Structure 1
Amino acid sequence: MNAKDFCLIFLVIAIWGVNFLFMRIALNEVPPMVLGMLRFLCVIFPAVLFFKRPAVPWHLLALYGLTISFGQFGLMFTALDLGLPTGLAALMLQTQVFFTVLIAGVLLREPVLANHLWGMFTAAAGLALIGIGHYQGTLPFSALLPVFGAAASWACGNIVVKRIGNVNALSLVIWGSFSALLAFTAVSFALYGFGGVRQHLANLSWQGISGILFLAYAASLIGYSGWGALLSRHPAGKITPFALLVPVVALLAGYVVLDERLGIWHWLGIITVVCGLLLHIFGRRLIPEYSKTK
């Protein structure tokens, strides 16, 4: 992986690390399905006027939008709306890394090396430590299933990206958002009706609008186009573990911006996640005798 791709990875991670703060800001003003509708409306327009549809079959574009956009964010927004803390949401969503690597190993026959497994196990231990530090005894059980569903949906979307191959990543995000927009819109009007949706839109403040714009233009257009470009050039097992840094960035951003104090469990978890990532990337050089393809 070259220096340009490394820089792109860390740009995406930085954007996604603060993404959950903007989700919370927007969800304070609109319900989950309406937020999804507005997010992907902004993703599509006006960008669709300037980018041609990628050379991808319509069914794969639709599947991309329904997995990596509608499924992931519909469930994630729901989990946050049910009271799941943003830092813990960022943490739990990263189980997509393990889903992706395992699904890619089974369906795409991508190699799963020993250092990949050890790196994932180590990072999982780090995530568990962060979870211990973040858990305050009031975690709503009803929010757990949606966030794990969001992680599984993201993992399925990663596999769809691999199936699509090397196309213009920004065009893929834009045109692949049509199915997500249609799904969010249909569910929004089914839940609230035309009058209810209109009332939610009328109540938006500049804070809510800023949250929606960040989610659309930074997290989606920049974040997912960069992520898609990386997945198209590298094995999923090599790229997706970097997403384990998202909850680390989210916790650190909360510490710096919101003055949220980090306890010893958080710091131990952060260090363990970083060690797991280093093992995943450099473990083959350190322990080559254990790195044969399974």
Structure 2
Amino acid sequence: MKASHRLLAVLVAAIWGVNFVAIELGLRDLPPLVLTALRFVAAAVPLVFLVPRPSARLRYVVAYGLVLGVLKFGALFTALAAGMSAGLASLVLQAQALMSVLLAAAVLGERPGRAQVAGVLVGSVGIGVLAIGSGGHATVIGFALTLFAAASWAVANLVMRASGETRPLSLLVWSSLVPPMPLLGLAGVVDGTQAVLDAITGLSWRGLLAVAYVAYVSTLVGFGIWNRLIARYSIARVAPFSLLVPVFGLSAAWLLLDEPVGPTELAAGAIILAGLALVVRRSSTDRGNATAASGGREPEYAPAATASA
């Protein structure tokens, strides 16, 4: 994995870390499913009129929109509204890194190296240390929904990889047309139609800014880069970078919400970085060996055989 691409993966982790602060602020003014629906409306319009259609088959576009938008983000935003703290949510959600690696190995035949597996496991230990020692609180339903969101994210990574999409931004924008109607329908059932209408018509500046961040920065920029990396590299190389999200999330909460960061958080952050270093070192070693084998030229990444299925 090129150094510039590793930096992009770290940038995405930083964007998603701050995203939890934006979500928490948005939920002060909007019901969770309404906030999720507005996120994808803003991500789709007006870009859907400006970018070409995805090269992937329609079933992948619809599946990606349903799994990422309705299942993953619908569950995550509902979990935060149901008592899951933003900091703890950013930790539990990163269970997707291990789930993604395991699913890619089982379904796509992408076998991770020993160092990659070790890196994910070490990083998961750091996540566990943060979850136990950070003092975050959660309801049972909030924790369960966040874990479900992590599993849904892993499936979304799998759909993206299997689609063989050559225009990741197009897939992201066009698939964003899928979640709003199911989400608003669910919101009407859960919160009531009038509550949904009142939330949308009475949107505050804080709510607008939250929607703008989660739609344009977190979704279009963050997932745009993420999907491009997954399309180019194996899931086992990319997914572990999300282990950095809680590090940035806790830092953002400290800077923007005045939440304390103590020795436990610092120690856990060091463990996570050590795990990520294993993954990065393995990627660099593999690339160096491949370059030497090809006579000094770095080979292009070859997608998995199932990517065009």
Class of the TM-score when normalised by the shorter of the 2 chains: over 0.9
Which 10-residue stretch deviates more, 176-185 or 207-216?
Answer: 176-185
Consecutive unaligned residues in structure 1, runs of 5 or more: 287-294
Residue 86 of structure 1 corresponds to which residue in structure 2? Answer: 86
Q: CA deviation at 1:4?
A: 3.0
Q: Distance in 1 between matches of 2:21 and 2:256?
A: 10
Alignment of 1:76-155 (within 5 A): 76-135=76-135, 138-155=137-154
- Tell me the amino acid that sits aligned with residue 207 of structure 2: G
Residue 42 of structure 2 corresponds to which residue in structure 1? Answer: 42
* Helix, strand or coil at the partner of 1:94: helix
Q: Distance in 2 between matches of 1:131 and 1:98?
A: 16
Given the alignment of the two structures, is residue 202 of structure 1 paired with residue 204 of structure 2, yes or no?
Answer: no
- Tell me the amino acid that sits aligned with residue 48 of structure 1: V
Residue 7 of structure 1 corresponds to which residue in structure 2? Answer: 7
CA contact (8 A) 1:166 1:229 kept: no
Alignment of 1:45-84 (within 5 A): 45-84=45-84
Consecutive unaligned residues in structure 2, runs of 5 or more: 286-309
Deviation per residue, 1:201-259 (Å, 9 max, x gap):
23321001100111111111111111100000000000000000000111112223333
Q: Distance in 1 between matches of 2:29 and 2:156?
A: 28
Alignment of 1:184-263 (within 5 A): 184-263=183-262
* Helix, strand or coil at the partner of 1:110: coil
- Tell me the amino acid that sits aligned with residue 222 of structure 1: V
Q: CA deviation at 1:260?
A: 2.2
Q: Distance in 2 between matches of 1:270 and 1:125?
A: 10
Q: Distance in 1 between matches of 2:203 and 2:89?
A: 24
Q: CA deviation at 1:185?
A: 2.2
CA contact (8 A) 1:115 1:284 kept: no
Q: CA deviation at 1:284?
A: 7.5
CA contact (8 A) 2:165 2:231 kept: yes
Q: Distance in 1 between matches of 2:41 and 2:93?
A: 24
CA contact (8 A) 2:55 2:165 kept: no
CA contact (8 A) 2:56 2:164 kept: no
Q: CA deviation at 1:68?
A: 1.7
Q: Distance in 2 between matches of 1:205 and 1:229?
A: 34
Q: CA deviation at 1:285?
A: 7.7
* Helix, strand or coil at the partner of 1:184: helix
Q: What TM-score do the two structures reach when normalised by structure 1?
A: 0.92
Q: What TM-score do the two structures reach when normalised by structure 2?
A: 0.88
Which 10-residue stretch deviates more, 277-286 or 1-10?
Answer: 277-286
- Tell me the amino acid that sits aligned with residue 86 of structure 1: A
- Tell me the amino acid that sits aligned with residue 282 of structure 1: R
- Tell me the amino acid that sits aligned with residue 4 of structure 2: K
* Helix, strand or coil at the partner of 1:167: coil
Q: CA deviation at 1:189?
A: 2.8
Which 10-residue stretch deviates more, 246-255 or 5-14?
Answer: 5-14
Q: Distance in 2 between matches of 1:50 and 1:22?
A: 27
- Tell me the amino acid that sits aligned with residue 180 of structure 1: P
- Tell me the amino acid that sits aligned with residue 113 of structure 1: G
Aligned residues: 285
